[in-house]
Amino acid sequence: MDHRLSRPVVERFVAGERLEDAVDAIIKLNRSGIGGILDLLGEGVTDPASASEAEDEYLASIKLIEETGIDTTVTIKLTQLGLAFDKAECIEYVRRLATEARSIGTYIEIDMEQTAFVSDTLEVYRALRADFDDIRLAMQAYLRRTPADLQAMAELRPKIRLIKGAYSESPEVAVQKRAEIDAQFAWLTDWLLANGTDPAIGTHDGALIDHCIASAGRAGVGKEGFELQFLYGIRRDLQQRLADEGYRTRVYVPFGSAWYPYLMRRMAERPANLRFFLRALAGG
């Protein structure tokens, strides 16, 4: 994919390279009754200096949230904080970030990455959950292990962001057919509404959103008991309609210079992602 093709995609789906660009985007969302999820792009750091630099950038994000008073959470990638080479230090980074976020009235969300990091990510979440019950953890519906992983956390009543999953994984690890992924997503939605705490359902699929709303009704969960989450630039009409109807809605707002190589890698890993982004670009 050449630069001329990808540039409109980048401009549509990323707020900009600077933190201030993302904050400006979230201010506009807030004016429409939609919350933000601030996402500093980049992952897979390989040295302590880079992990420390990422922590500094996250702390700067939290400081600017406090200064502007915007309604947003902060999502973090554990491999950006050294998970791949120093899990203990990664936990301390997250602990500091969670403490700072709580001090200004928001909280941290933890992204889920490739399957190689799932077990370690769950360990980090468990290590912090007792002190920070507001941390939300992303779980990927297409992974075959996810139902068992959630069942194993049932006693915690975990706070989860459910997403389909974007990484290219083998059939042994992940469900491949869309209908099967959707069925597992729906089952996990039901489980979270019955057994989780303040679940966030991250999908642009209208049928799965309708399923969530109906399931929440069956579980006796009101509109304040769950959240609907979207990616920046995708289904903006649906985001606004749901917010106008009183549903808690947040948008994942990415920023940073790492967007371009990130997009290229995602397209190479999973061509379906390209079709998804281009359809969204054409359809609003």
pLDDT band at 132 (very low <50, low <70, confident <90, very high): very high
Tell me the pLDDT tens digit for each residue of 138-175.
999 999 999 999 999 999 999 999 999 878 899 999 99
14 neighbors 281 (Cβ within 8 angstroms): no
Q: What type of residue sits at position 60?
A: A
Burial 192-229, CB ≥16 within 10 A → b, else e: bbebbebbbbbbbbeebbebbbebbeebebeeeebbbb
Choice between 265 and 197, residue whose per-residue pLDDT is larger:
197
| Range from 5-14, 57-66, 259-268 that averages highest in pLDDT | 57-66
218's tokens = 């069956």
pTM attached to this predicted model: 0.91
Nearest to 72 by CA among 22, 112, 13: 22
Q: How crowded is the C-beta side of 190, counted as CA atoms within 13 Å? A: 9
Mean pLDDT of 52-58: 96
pLDDT at 108: 98
pLDDT at 5: 45
Strands 35-40 and 160-163: unpaired
Q: Is the pLDDT of residue 104 over 50?
A: yes
Task: Provide the CATH topology of domain 3-283.
Answer: TIM Barrel (3.20.20)
Q: Per DSSP, what are the bridge partners of residue 163? A: 140
Q: Is the pLDDT of residue 6 over 50?
A: yes
pLDDT at 2: 43
Question: Which of the residues 39, 111, 182, 248 is marked catalytic?
Answer: 111
pLDDT band at 61 (very low <50, low <70, confident <90, very high): very high
Distance between CA atoms of residues 25 and 232, nearest Å: 9
Q: Is the pLDDT of residue 266 over 80?
A: no
Distance between CA atoms of residues 62 and 250, nearest Å: 17
Q: Is the pLDDT of residue 124 over 50?
A: yes
Mean pLDDT of 58-85: 97
Q: Is the pLDDT of residue 233 over 90?
A: no
Q: Reply yes or no on whether 236 is catalytic.
A: no
Mean pLDDT rounded to a whole number for the chain? 91
Describe the crossing of helices 48-68 and 19-31 by its angle, rounded to 10 degrees. 40
Q: Is the pLDDT of residue 265 over 60?
A: no
Q: Is the pLDDT of residue 87 over 70?
A: yes
Question: Which of the residues 161, 235, 248, 250 is marked catalytic?
Answer: 161
Distance between CA atoms of residues 264 and 23, nearest Å: 25
Q: Is the pLDDT of residue 252 over 80?
A: yes
Q: What type of residue sits at position 165?
A: G
Q: Reply yes or no on whether 111 is catalytic.
A: yes
